[in-house]
Amino acid sequence: MSTPTTTAPSSDHIMGVYNRAPLAVERGRGARLWDTKGEEYLDCVAGIATNGLGHCHPRLVEVLKEQADKLWHVSNIFRIPGQEELARRLTDATFADVVFFTNSGTEAIECALKTARKYHTAGGNPERVEIYGFDGSFHGRSYAAINAAGNPGYVEGFGPRLPGYSQLTWGDHEAIKAAIANPTTAAIIVEPVQGEGGARAMPEHCLTGLRALTREHGVILIYDEVQCGMGRTGRLFAHDWAEDAAPDIMCVAKALGGGFPVGACLASAEAAKGMTVGVHGSTFGGNPLAMAVGLAAFDEISKEETLANVRDVAGYFNQQLTGLKDRFPDVILDVRGKGFLIGLKLVPVNREFMALARDQHLLVAGGGDNCVRLLPPLNLTVEEAREVVEKLEKTCEVVRAKAAT
pLDDT of residue 256: 98
State the Cα–Cα distance between residues 90 and 240, nearest whole angstrom: 14
φ, ψ dihedrals at 115, nearest 5°: -60, -40
Contact 276/399 with Cβ under 8 angstroms?
A: no
Q: What is the DSSP string of 378-397?
A: TT--HHHHHHHHHHHHHHHH
Q: In what order do the strands lie in the sheet with 332-338?
A: 332-338, 341-346, 371-374, 365-367
pLDDT of residue 3: 59
Angle at 235 between CA 234 and CA 240, to 5 degrees: 140
**Structure-derived torsion over alpha carbons of residues 230, 391, 366, 399, reported in degrees to the nearest 10:** 160
State the Cα–Cα distance between residues 259 and 294, nearest whole angstrom: 9
State the Cα–Cα distance between residues 138 and 289, nearest whole angstrom: 28
Contact 221/186 with Cβ under 8 angstroms?
A: no
The model's pTM: 0.96
Contacts of 323 (CB under 8 A, 6+ apart): none
Contact 293/53 with Cβ under 8 angstroms?
A: no
Q: Judging by beta carbons within 10 Å of its beta carbon (0-12, 13-18, 19+), is residue 299 exposed, middle or buried?
A: middle
State the Cα–Cα distance between residues 59 and 51, nearest whole angstrom: 13
- Sorted by where each starts, the structural domains of the chain and their CATH numbers stand as 25-57+304-404 (3.90.1150.10), 71-301 (3.40.640.10)
pLDDT of residue 268: 98
State the Cα–Cα distance between residues 316 and 337, nearest whole angstrom: 14
Residue-level length of the chain: 405
- The conformation of residue 202, written as its DSSP 8-state character, comes to P
Contact 345/374 with Cβ under 8 angstroms?
A: no
pLDDT of residue 247: 98
Other CB atoms within 10 Å distance of the CB of residue 66? 11
Buried b (16+ CB within 10 A) or exposed e, 11-24: eeeeeeeeeeeeee
Count each helix (H run) and each strand (E run) in the chain, helices first: 12, 15
pLDDT of residue 405: 87
Q: Can you list the positions of beta strands (E) in 171-227?
A: 185-190, 220-224
pLDDT of residue 9: 67
Q: Is the dihedral of CA 77, 78, 80, 86 positive or negative?
A: positive
- The conformation of residue 36, written as its DSSP 8-state character, comes to T
State the Cα–Cα distance between residues 259 and 240, nearest whole angstrom: 24
**Structure-derived torsion over alpha carbons of residues 351, 357, 359, 361, reported in degrees to the nearest 10:** -130
Active-site residue list: 138, 224, 254
Strands 98-102 and 263-267: antiparallel
Greatest alpha-carbon pair distance for the chain in Å reads 68
Residues linked to residue 35 through DSSP beta bridges, in sequence order: 25
In order along its 405 residues, the chain shows pLDDT tens digits of 555 556 666 788 999 988 889 999 999 999 999 999 999 999 999 999 999 999 999 999 999 999 999 999 999 999 999 999 999 999 999 999 999 999 999 999 999 999 999 999 999 999 999 999 999 999 999 999 999 999 998 999 999 999 999 999 989 999 999 999 999 999 999 999 999 999 999 999 999 999 999 999 999 999 999 999 999 999 999 999 999 999 999 999 999 999 999 999 999 999 999 999 999 999 999 999 999 999 999 999 999 999 999 999 999 999 999 999 999 999 999 999 999 999 999 999 999 999 999 999 999 999 999 999 999 999 999 999 999 999 999 999 999 999 998
* Helix or strand (DSSP H, E) at 217: helix 204-217
